[in-house]
Amino acid sequence: MTTQHTSTRKAAVIGAGQAGVTAALGLLDAGFVVTVYSERDQRALRDSVPATGTALIFGEAQAAEEALGLPTYLDRAPLHSGLTIRVAGGGEELIDFDGAFDGFHGLAVDTRLKADERLTTFLERGGRFVVDTVTPERLDPIAADNDLTLVATGRAGLSGLFDIDETRTVYDAPQRSLLTVTVTGLGYDESVFAHRSPAGGGRSGFSIVAEQGEGWWGPYLHKDAGPSWAFLGWARPGSDWEKRFAAADSAESAHRIVTDLYRDYLDWDLPEVLATEVIAEDPHSWLKGAVRPLFRRGVGHTAGGHPVAALGDTAVAYDPIAGQGAQSGLIQAQRLVTAAAAHDGPFDTGWITAQYEAFLEFRAEDAAKVTRLFLSDPEFAEIGNQFFAAAAADPRFAAALVSTLHRPQAARSVNSVADAQELIAAVTGEDAATVLGRFRPAGRFSRSQYSPAATTA
């Protein structure tokens, strides 16, 4: 990316995670003098902290990276060609479908790997990296010395500088407790998860147990082990799963908890889970916690009145159930860089606010809506019932439903059961009642017959 500006403009990025370093590299290529601030050095950022979730990336986020001239990892990471979904509840196995992504692939790349490689490129191209704990007091002179300052310190850090937007924030607490662990031991051919899809290991798999929570398995690119698999689980408040997740204190214990979870609740996938192994060389290959989904104001001010912009999780926090967090941060970064490169005036409160509001309209509010749908939010319960039944009845709608992870804007106009039925008809070319009339409960899910010995023989 190039710029026609003749005067040198300066930018600071606080935080060296995926979104922050992506924005920093984009601004550098746009002609800014850029400094990245981090409380950890580059080696510690790669090897002394866990990855921030599984960082699922789909088509729109990949396009944002390409627009900045950055690699998407499509040539290095194991790819997801779709998503299989199974829904159980009340002791019954209810819904089973296989949704193919339409025109794109999904992938999950260790955020430590991506941020590290982009930081290396940033330094090679002349960017400045400062190891420093940036407090609100320290931020004031930094913002005073730069034309544009982006804060990308995640949901903690300096996020308190940005007021919560109560008009857009629906929840007052986390909706799930989370547990993730990265493992090896599985390949990606048709024999892996073959009971869920003919595509086998080319799909990621999502299971819902209504009273307990949700579990996801997907191909992953780990910073050390390379192609691998990641588990991400969501436990409902007060559930048995929540108690189990809370007991995790290491990669090994997290792996045991996941194995027992599948033995006790999700036995249809158990043989694949039993074949997995912990990544011994990475003690940080697991993570537990909880996320309150919320929107913050896009602009904050330092003690001296200097405006700063929120980026990534600092701006919008999503529950990771629909994979919107990493995507949102990358797309927001690309939009900010593009707008900044073309802007001739000051990066003041008005400019930052306008860019943020445009981003919320373009994607972020729709992404939050799709996340609420996958969280089984009561407000969208009947819409979800229509969507999942239609997906089980018609592969065209199954593809459309799982592709909302890529383009959540498709759900923008759906606010009622009638709206849901209109979308079902538009996607399938049939009346929604006809499509839904073909739905039949799963009865009993097919069980895995996977055998590692047979695979390696």
Q: What is the pLDDT of residues 109-126, one digit of tens each?
A: 999 999 999 999 999 999
Give 81's pLDDT tier (boundaries 50, 70, 90): very high
Report DSSP letters for 387-398, one per residue: HHHHHHH-HHHH
Q: Contact, 185 vs 343, CB < 8 A?
A: no
On whether the CB atoms of residues 179 and 233 are closer than 8 A, the answer is yes
**Residue 418: pLDDT over 60:** yes
Ordered by where they begin, the domains of the chain are: 10-70+109-171+292-372 (3.50.50.60), 79-107+174-288 (3.30.9.40), 377-438 (no CATH)
- Give the pLDDT mean for 244-272: 98
Band of residue 454 on the pLDDT scale cut at 50, 70, 90: low
Spatial distance between the Cα atoms of 276 and 2, rounded to a whole number of angstroms: 46
Strands, E assignment, 39-81: 56-57
What is the number of other CB atoms lying within 10 angstroms of the CB of residue 421? 19
Confidence of residue 46 (pLDDT cuts 50, 70, 90): very high
pLDDT at residue 5, rounded to an integer: 46
Q: Per-residue pLDDT for 2 more than 70?
A: no
% of the chain with per-residue pLDDT over 90:
96
Q: What is the pLDDT of residue 455?
A: 56
Q: Which of the four pLDDT bands, split at 50, 70 and 90, describes residue 20?
A: very high
Q: pTM to 2 decimals?
A: 0.96
Residue 365 tokens, joined: 């509010």
pLDDT of residue 53: 84
The residue among 273, 277, 109, 283 whose CA lies nearest residue 207 is: 273
pLDDT at 12: 98
- Residue pLDDT, tens place only, 91-107: 999 999 999 999 999 99
Mean pLDDT of 254-273: 98
Q: What distance in Å separates the CA atoms of residue 451 and residue 236, rounded to the nearest whole number?
A: 32
Round to whole Å and give the CA distance between 27 and 11.
Answer: 8
Structure token digits, residue 271:
């043989």
* Assigned token pair, 380: 């969208």
User: 119: closest CA among 178, 227, 42?
Assistant: 42
**What does the mean pLDDT of the chain come to?**
96
Note the pLDDT of residue 7: 65
Quote the pLDDT of residue 130: 98
**CA 94 to CA 99: how far, in whole Å?**
16
Share above pLDDT 70 across residues of the chain, in percent, rounded to a whole number: 98
